[in-house]
Structure 1
Amino acid sequence: MRVSILGAGAIAYGMAAYLAKSGHEPMLWSPSGGRTRALAAGELLKATGDIEATVPVRVAGDCKEAIDHAEAVVIALPVNGHRMVMDAAVPHLVDGLPVIVSSHGSFGALYISKQLAQRNVSLPIVVWGTTLLTGRQQGPTEVHVSTVRQKIDVATLPFSAREQGYELCTALFGDRFVKRDGMLAIALSNLNPQNHLGIALLNLTRMEKGEQWSQGGNVTPAVGRVIEALDAERLAIADHFGIAVRTVQEHFSLSFHVPVGSVSEMNQEMERQGRGGFGPTTADSRYVLEDVPFGLLPTVLLGKVSGKPAVLHEAGISILSAAYGRDLKLDNDILPALGLDALSDAELADLCRSGFSSGTT
């Protein structure tokens, strides 16, 4: 299948290698064009680690070429770049062409849906709760893939396209997808922002000083209790909407195969097993600059709409904004275009299942 990947970072490169190795035809589009020059000149893409492959990958000259070539489109770059890429893609999308958002954040699927409704274009939008893989680029033609995830939550907008979206993802990326009950379930299943808030906020000096520090080892009991309290706010919102989501303890147990205990105990066990990882070595980290505006802020919005305020989430945004000397909420360029805070809980839930209707202004 011809799959165009909008993005050119480690996730996009790893995904392209996976698809090519599986017999599909990936095409990359770099918004800046800088990262893919060597590939565009004919050099092969080399993947190491959990994916071992050296494969040819086509490169699109612009977004229109990428979409015109595609039987499926994947948006694969950090969420703070999603609106830019969505704005470039929407004018060229056509009826029925599936769009996968990897991974979904800040109600980006609704942003696509609203723009397409203005053009009277209808297509399935597939949203993932996380990325296919983790990795790091080693150069302009090489990526090291640390992990290919065994399970990925998936939903669609509209909800009626769920089976189509699941079958597409399975055909492209294998039997690793778990169907969830709609886009709202995906929005409430991303635990990274809340976990990163506790970790970054209480280790901010280490980040700012550029220290090398154990992330798991520094999820001390105090840090763990903050994460658990943040998780309780998320779970209360999910319960209000009648959505079953994993607890943070279940997440750590399923992701890292450690016994269920307190968050601190589980992270200490990960550290003992050599899988605690390292924390950010710069204050310019996605743990703050991406996760605060695009991860925490949507949870705060859901808390207000549901009547289950996410007080700690909101406090974390304010404290980190003060630490960084600017209002991090203003970095979110998706939510202001949607007007979701004016909706009731029932209206928001319906919108997350059906999307915007044709002719929306």
Structure 2
Amino acid sequence: MAKRVLILGAGGVARGMAALLTKAGHVPMLWSPSGRSTQALRSLPLQVSGALDGALRIAIAQDLQTALHWAEVVVLAMPANGHRATLDAALPHLRADHGIIISAQLSLGGLYLHQALAARGVAALVMAWGTTVVLGRCLGEDGVQIGGLRARVEVAALPDTRSDEALALCHALFGDRFAKAESIVAIALGNLNPPVHMANALCNLTRIERGEVWANYDGITPTVARLIEGLDGERLALATAYGVRVRSVERHFRDTFALPEHLSLAEMAAQIHARRGGPPGPTDLSTRFITEDLPFGIVEIITLAQHIQHPTPLHEAGLTLFQCLCGRDFRAENTLLPALDFAAISGC
């Protein structure tokens, strides 16, 4: 049965999801906080290329309240920097019959929404994804290039008793690619992007600052890989301390890119670079490797560790170095974690 799906966001991932939903027979609508990212799409079809292709007419929201009243499902698909403000704007208009997807969760955004809804007495189903379904990149004002569709996405439902309902809804919308996560903490600690991106950005910082052209996986030399492995060891130990299981970075690379068991992390990165050439490494200090993954990924890991007095010295050192290098307080930029009731985490 076709679903009416409001997508909060209008970037590459949001546009890619709109295309995927349209192809599957659903009715998506895009909403942009400023309206700038959807202006052209009010009169032009969305030009889709890559893993999907075509010219698709996508509905554009006029205002958030009206769009939420129309929607059956709501998907948050924007950088984590905008999650708190967008969720707070949506909260007064969310209903118990809404299914709400956080794609993808950073800084326990699913828990923030669940707790905020509970405070209003609204028992909506919240679904926190470990990653995005589509790899999307905006092409101009009216286009999106879909680099691929993920074969597996883990999802944690809040409340956990509605996990089967959450999986069924995600399957109906985006296909048979979803698996139940152990908990929302498993989603949080299963996200490899923040530590991998922090290590790669730190060790290639001059390239980024100078705007040099370089390939992301080519930047993972044996020395950089050693730092990634050290960070990964801390993440895995923290997951064990919380009683959840997550994949190692080596297992993630092997499963994602079908690589043999005997290769080291650096050797896997070299093979991925040789096969694909890209994606390109960031060429500006405003990259999400720094502005999103540090305040909403690395700070999240450190905060979870501090909650149970578990050491993460490499993560803390990396954050401290970047705060000095960038002249920013990335801890203070996180607007989600300070609003959480951490006492509830053990029950999630």
TM-score computed with the length of structure 1 as normaliser: 0.93
SS of alignment partner, residue 273 of structure 1: helix
Conservation of the 8 A alpha-carbon contact between 2:126 and 2:159: yes
> Shift of the alpha carbon at 1:276?
4.7
Conservation of the 8 A alpha-carbon contact between 1:237 and 1:303: yes
Measure, in 2, the Cα distance between the counterparts of 1:75 and 1:121.
18
Gapped runs of 5+ residues in structure 2? none
**Is 2:294 the partner of 1:297?**
no
**Is 2:237 the partner of 1:240?**
no
Alignment match, 2:201: 200
2:275 partner letter:
Q
1:39 partner letter:
L
Measure, in 1, the Cα distance between the counterparts of 2:111 and 2:186.
14
Measure, in 1, the Cα distance between the counterparts of 2:131 and 2:54.
23
Alignment match, 1:28: 30
- Structure 1 residues 276 and 140, CA gap change in structure 2 (3 angstroms): closer
* CA offsets 1:79-100 (integer angstroms, 9 cap, x no match): 1111111011111001121100
* CA offsets 1:310-351 (integer angstroms, 9 cap, x no match): 1111111100000001211111111111253xx4xxx5221x
* CA offsets 1:270-314 (integer angstroms, 9 cap, x no match): 122234532111111100110001000110011122332111111
303-312 or 29-38, which deviates more: 303-312
Measure, in 2, the Cα distance between the counterparts of 1:307 and 1:219.
31
Of residues 5, 11, 14, the one that matches 1:12 is 14
* CA offsets 1:18-60 (integer angstroms, 9 cap, x no match): 111111000111110111122223x211211001132211111
Segments ≥4 residues shifted beyond 6 Å: none
- Two-structure CA RMSD over aligned residues (Å): 1.2
* CA offsets 1:153-190 (integer angstroms, 9 cap, x no match): 11111111111110000000001111111111101100
Alignment match, 1:49: 50
Alignment match, 2:81: 80
SS of alignment partner, residue 170 of structure 2: helix
Alignment match, 1:356: none
Conservation of the 8 A alpha-carbon contact between 2:15 and 2:136: no
Alignment match, 1:40: 42
Alignment match, 2:100: 99
TM-score computed with the length of structure 2 as normaliser: 0.96
Conservation of the 8 A alpha-carbon contact between 2:41 and 2:58: yes
Measure, in 2, the Cα distance between the counterparts of 1:140 and 1:259.
41
Conservation of the 8 A alpha-carbon contact between 1:38 and 1:140: yes
Conservation of the 8 A alpha-carbon contact between 1:237 and 1:306: no
Conservation of the 8 A alpha-carbon contact between 1:4 and 1:26: yes
Sequence identity, in percent?
43
* CA offsets 1:182-207 (integer angstroms, 9 cap, x no match): 11110110000000011001110100
Conservation of the 8 A alpha-carbon contact between 2:108 and 2:337: yes
2:196 partner letter:
N
Alignment match, 2:229: 228
Alignment match, 2:118: 117
2:346 partner letter:
A
Alignment match, 1:349: 346
1:15 partner letter:
M
Conservation of the 8 A alpha-carbon contact between 1:126 and 1:154: yes
- Aligned length in residues: 345
Alignment match, 1:325: 327
SS of alignment partner, residue 276 of structure 2: coil
Conservation of the 8 A alpha-carbon contact between 1:28 and 1:66: no
Alignment match, 1:358: none
Measure, in 2, the Cα distance between the counterparts of 1:65 and 1:140.
24
111-120 or 72-81, which deviates more: 111-120
